[in-house]
Amino acid sequence: MPKLIPISFKNHKQELLRGILHLPKNYNPKTGTAIIYLHGFPGSMFGTAKRFLTPLAKLGFLCMRFEFSGTNTSQGKFEDKLMSKEVKEIKYAINFLQKHYSFKKLILAGHSTGAIDAALYAHKDKRITKLILSGGVSDLKHAVRYDFTDLQVHQFWKQGYITYHRPNHWTNNKKLKKAFYDEFFTLDIPQSLKKFHKPVLILHGEQDQGVFVKEAHELFKIINKPKKLAIIKGADHSFTKPLHLNQALNAIYKFIK
């Protein structure tokens, strides 16, 4: 079984970000492949990231998941969250992994909002070998409606923030400022992806009700070759059913190998 190692590193604001490293037995940094997985919003590293990386680490990949600032165990205020800030934090995650464990190939994978972050960042870092976008969106101007209801948008404009009411969830009673909403109209996914010229896998659940599958097809049109599209039949946004998770993992394994 891979060893689970608690990790932490600081972002550009000197906030401590916490994560977990899955270190396979006999991992060779000179020939090994590492995967950094970016969680969605308002998720954490204990959701889809854990479900994906646990089996991938068993296959011999060095896997790292961490929580962006303002998320659950990491420092920073949830109310001050920005996607642009999360994009900047990816570099510090890669720096940490490269310094302490090293790798020959690096796979950057993101799910949902994590896929947005990955899409915006990937072209900026030559260390990234391949990119995986899972449950992602093609354009933020219309995708904002996947994250926020009409009532929440009204509250953003009326009071400048919204409050989450999710009992037994780490976001319960936490505020989020309108600045997070505003970035959906300023950040450009297509422009960023057109600058990335390495292999990309677009992964999506056919029955995704959180982010409709049409987004995957639009993303596939945008990205450069070489590229791969994997639509998992019957799967939801987080590949909840074991069969769908295994099919998604198989697509990822084939893409990496």
Q: What is the pLDDT of residues 188-221, one digit of tens each?
A: 999 999 999 999 999 999 999 999 999 999 999 9
Which percentage of the chain shows pLDDT scores above 90? 98
> Higher-confidence residue: 111 or 257?
111
Kindly report the CATH number assigned to the domain that includes residue 249.
3.40.50.1820
Query: CA 53, CA 180: separation in Å to the nearest integer?
Result: 28
pLDDT at 180: 98
Fill in the amino acid letter for 159. Q
Residue 136 has φ and ψ, to the nearest 5°, of -90, 180
Assess if residue 45 is contained within a domain. yes
pTM: 0.97
How far is Cα 134 from Cα 115, in angstroms, rounded to an integer? Answer: 6
Structure tokens at 175: 């505020």
Q: Which residues pair with 52 in a beta bridge?
A: none
In a domain? residue 10: yes
Is 135 a member of any domain? yes
Query: Does any domain span residue 44?
Result: yes
Model pLDDT, residue 194 = 97
157 domain-assigned: no
* 245 belongs to a structural domain: yes
d(CA 205, CA 14): 37
Domain range for 251:
3-142+188-256
Asked if residue 171 belongs to a domain, the reply is no
Q: Does 168 fall in a domain?
A: no
- pLDDT computed for residue 91 by the predictor: 98
pLDDT of residue 95: 98
Render pLDDT for 39-93 as a digit per residue (tens, 0 to 9): 999 999 999 999 999 999 999 999 999 999 999 999 999 999 999 999 999 999 9
Report the pLDDT averaged over residues 96-105.
96
- Which pLDDT does position 172 carry in this prediction? 95
Number of domains in the chain: 1
